[in-house]
């Protein structure tokens, strides 16, 4: 009687297969469809989206769109990668889901301040110079122009 041991074949690799990559001493777990970065600087901080940014499979606009960030919603930044992009994950998770440009979000504790600073500031009314031209009429000129308007 002979017993032969065979290993079953490995399951086929598809886009949803989880793989791990080590970059700059940090191990990242990600789907096979998402490319591992060439450079990685850990951040591990909660950010909030400033707009509906595309989450890409590579840290540039040449990759495929995986999903979109929702404006104002939190996401986890795992680290900074090449081309000034951020490697991101779901909130309170460590699995890399893709990359977004650095300007797509801000740290959660600075979100409200960033929105306040981004609002347009009201303009001060420009001073008008007016002179009477007879009766109830007057001519006015705004301080920053040489044009007179008759009322």
Report how far Cα 46 is from the mean position of its chain's Cα atoms. Answer: 12
Is the CB of residue 58 less than 8 Å from the CB of residue 35? Answer: yes
Confirm whether 135 is domain-assigned. no
β partners of residue 141: 129, 148
From CA 44, how far away is CA 57, in angstroms rounded?
Answer: 19
**At residue 2, does pLDDT exceed 70?**
no
Q: What is the pLDDT of residues 19-67, one digit of tens each?
A: 999 999 999 999 999 999 999 999 999 999 999 999 999 999 999 999 9
Cα 116 to Cα 84: distance, rounded to the nearest angstrom? 25
Quickly state the pLDDT bin for 147 (edges 50, 70, 90). Answer: confident
Q: For residues 78 and 29, what is the distance between their CA atoms, to the nearest angstrom?
A: 11
Domain count, the chain: 1
- The whole-model pTM stands at 0.74
User: Which CATH number belongs to the domain containing residue 97 in this structure?
Assistant: 2.30.30.40
Q: Please indicate, yes or no, if residue 71 is contained in any of the structural domains.
A: yes
Is 36 inside a domain boundary? yes
Count of C-beta atoms within a 10 Å radius of residue 53: 21
**Using one digit for the tens of pLDDT, what is the confidence trace for 102-124?**
999 999 999 999 998 887 777 77
């Amino acid at each position: 009687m002979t017993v032969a041991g065979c290993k079953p074949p490995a399951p086929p690799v598809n886009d949803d297969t989880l793989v791990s990559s080590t970059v700059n001493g940090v191990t990242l777990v990600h789907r096979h469809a998402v490319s591992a970065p060439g450079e990685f600087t850990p951040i591990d901080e909660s950010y909030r989206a400033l707009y509906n940014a595309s989450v890409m499979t590579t840290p540039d606009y040449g990759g495929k769109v995986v999903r979109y960030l929702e404006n104002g919603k939190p996401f986890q930044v795992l680290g900074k990668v090449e081309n000034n992009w951020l490697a991101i994950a779901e909130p309170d998770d460590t699995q890399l889901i893709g990359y977004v440009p650095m300007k797509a979000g801000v740290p959660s504790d600075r979100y409200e301040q960033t929105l306040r600073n981004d609002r347009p500031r009201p303009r001060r009314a420009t001073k008008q110079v007016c002179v009477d031209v007879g009766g109830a009429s007057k001519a006015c000129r705004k301080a920053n122009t040489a044009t007179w308007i008759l009322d």
